[in-house]
Chain A
């Protein structure tokens, strides 16, 4: 009995190098996730000996797991904060693989009641709790469901900086806190009076993006306006690659930047890097 277990163990030990599969763990932003997970599937088909696991959690989680060394590659949809930068201590390459627009998203019913654009000031008033009903900004008579995001989320940093003036600004008008893009999308589509922040690739029939009015100019959240730098809530989508990363991890990031990787970026709905 013990002998056979011993033999089995020995066999496992000796045979494993023959079938060595390398695993790359990638963690972070749920905005970057669709690109990376599709790329990972394709990459695995081309390199069957490399397994890639991709999981979400948000930009803050992605950056924290690189700091703590629990993942090989991090995803972030925002720049690192000074505090995070200090902890990363120059040991990580921060690579931008795409750009996208954070759309101000509203429920279908709100959009159809006539809200097609809001000024930065109006959106700020909603998030500060000064405007609580849609009819005060020209829409239907319903209390606004103001969706805020967890404080470390990349989308929130970008949104809060552009609308409220500071990436950590408080949103006293928030009626609920959401986490991932999926969760946010679900809440907006289930409500008839919601406003939230969502990457423009996640908009659909029930979750509509509205235009943002900046100093009198109305700008829609499209990739074209990200390209010409006019949309105020545009941002880069980052990959964090430790300098001591394995060759396989480095190779996968190169794959993301290659023509194949960039065509996935385009297909998901983000702006490929030039």
Chain B
């Protein structure tokens, strides 16, 4: 009884703190973005020129860059992560399974600046040499580094989901004469799908918000690639722009408001992603 009395206020307090944190963040983002949109209008979102000193704030190059980098990352990381999870959960003996898990957990724990430096010193020279690029700084490099960073999330979540499918189901399926392919595609993946999906969502979120590693390899050039699907050119992402310019933007200035608006655009993206996933059913 005594313990309960102590616990309840603590829980409530924590809940209120979380709520206040979320609300103040929302207020901060929207009030700054409101200032920005009042001066420049919503059309800034699809204008292409970003020159803060000339009061030109066009978001399109960075929005496009963010989406491209994320697409490349997901295209690489989803097949690799799922395959790794399937092999690790279904085919490997227990000891190897835990080694695979451990190595993924280590991968997940490495700070993002280290990934950025790996990109800078290993990936960029490689791309420069083999694809005959100017410096290697490109959307492709950003996407590849991102894919490495979100791989552990996808793989670990998918493996957990596969492991949680009960052993009886596997045995029943095999007894019915299903071969391994059918077992995987008809039984295991559908059963594990809610878990896999929340792994994908977490990975998307991390990819969307990743700043440091992307900033080091993307080239930070505020220009739409020519043609727009040319992922071998340097470009800019929303996060990299915030990272590069936030320090110089005086608090309260229009430049500052524009950068906060970049943050709001990211937040809106993240919300859209999680809403679109929730509509199809609850997240495991």
Contacts and interface: CB of A to CB of B under 8 A. Distances in A.
Interface of A: 57-58, 60-61, 64-65, 67-68, 84, 87, 143, 145, 150-152, 168, 170, 174-177, 179, 186-187, 190-191, 193-194
Contacts of A186: 120
Interface of B: 51-54, 120, 124-125, 128, 134-135, 137, 219-222, 234, 244-245, 247-251
Given A170-B51, A175-B234, A145 B134 contact: yes
Contacts of B221: 174-177
A135 to B, nearest CB: 16
B120 to A, nearest CB: 8
B247 A176 contact: no
Given A187-B135, A190-B135, A179 B244 contact: yes
B242 to A, nearest CB: 13
Nearest to B248: A60
Contacts of B52: 151
Contact of B250 (A87, A150, A191): A87
A95 to B, nearest CB: 21
Contacts of B219: 175-177
25 contacts: A57-B247, A58-B247, A61-B248, A64-B249, A64-B250, A65-B247, A87-B250, A143-B134, A145-B134, A151-B53, A152-B245, A152-B248, A175-B134, A175-B219, A176-B134, A176-B135, A176-B220, A176-B234, A177-B222, A177-B234, A186-B120, A190-B125, A190-B135, A191-B134, A194-B135
Given A170-B51, A177-B220, A61 B234 contact: no
A200 B122 CA distance: 28
A143 B219 CA distance: 17
Contacts of A60: 247-248
Nearest to B52: A151
